[in-house]
Each structure stands twice: as structure tokens, then as C-alpha cells.
Copies of this chain bind each other. A is one copy, B any other.
């Protein structure tokens, strides 16, 4: 995929964390994901389709997920319960929804999110459509985004 296509996802992530979690987020350089080397505790995954096909995954260590959802809903979350999985799904949904505006030429629509829970899980794309991996550092901790987009 063209690296430029990851930019709407990056700016959507920065804006979403700033607006909804009042949290300052700094993106690192996107890299082509070579292997399933990063592992996390909870991920939000959502599909994109239209004139391009895609998928986005936002992956968090448990403590960062708890802090992000706590900040979003304004009450402290201490365990990964439905409130937290719904929150992570909602964050993923909002980011994908914002990113598609910057990719309007592909007329993308977004699916329902799935939320993955599991210590040290990894996420992969099909090997012929390598995902771009974007690390994020934030005031509540580090997390990561993977974006795969198959353009016409």
C-alpha cells in the first residue's frame, strides 16, 4: 500500500485521543510490518470496504486501554469488562470513521468492530497485502496501529 494512505489514520488517531481523551499522542514513523513481533492485551479491529479494501487494528497494553477508556467515559475502569471492550470498539470505530473522510476517493464504508482480548496476542494481515505499523507514544502510555489497504 502507498504509505501516504496511512496518514489519514494517523491524524484521525491523534485527533480522536485529543478530543475524546484529552490526551496528547505522538505518532512514530510508519513501518511495513514484517512479522508478528508486537503483542498486546486488547485490540479493536475494524474492516473497510468500497473502492479499496482494508482493515485497521488498534492494539493496547491492558493499562493503556483502561486509562484510555477511563478518560473517554470519565469514570475509572480497573478491569477489562464490557465498558472497556465497548470503549475500545468505539475508539476504533471513530478513528476508522474519521480516516475514511481523508480517503473519500475510495468511498470507504466501515464494518462493525470486533474487540480481541488475550495476553500477548498478535494481529496479521494476508502476507500479500502487508500492513503498515504505526507506533504511538502518549501521556497515558504507548499503543500501536496496524493499517492494511488494498487499492485498485
Contact = CB atoms under 8 A, between A and B. Distances in A.
A129 B112 contact: yes
Interface of A: 36, 39, 43, 45-50, 53-55, 57, 82, 85-86, 89-90, 109-129, 148-150
A45 B117 contact: no
A48 B53 CA distance: 11
B112 A125 contact: yes
A79 to B, nearest CB: 13
Given A116-B121, A118-B118, A119-B118, A111 B49 contact: yes
Contact of A111 (B47, B85, B119, B123): B47
Q: How many copies does the complex hold?
A: 2
Interface of A is mostly: strand
A36 B111 CA distance: 20
A41 to B, nearest CB: 10
Contacts of A117: 36, 121-124
Q: Nearest 3 CB-CB pairs, A to B?
A: A47-B47, A47-B111, A118-B121
A82 B47 contact: no
Given A89-B126, A150-B112, A118 B39 contact: yes
A74 to B, nearest CB: 19
B126 A90 contact: yes
B39 A110 contact: no
Nearest to A39: B118
B113 A126 contact: yes
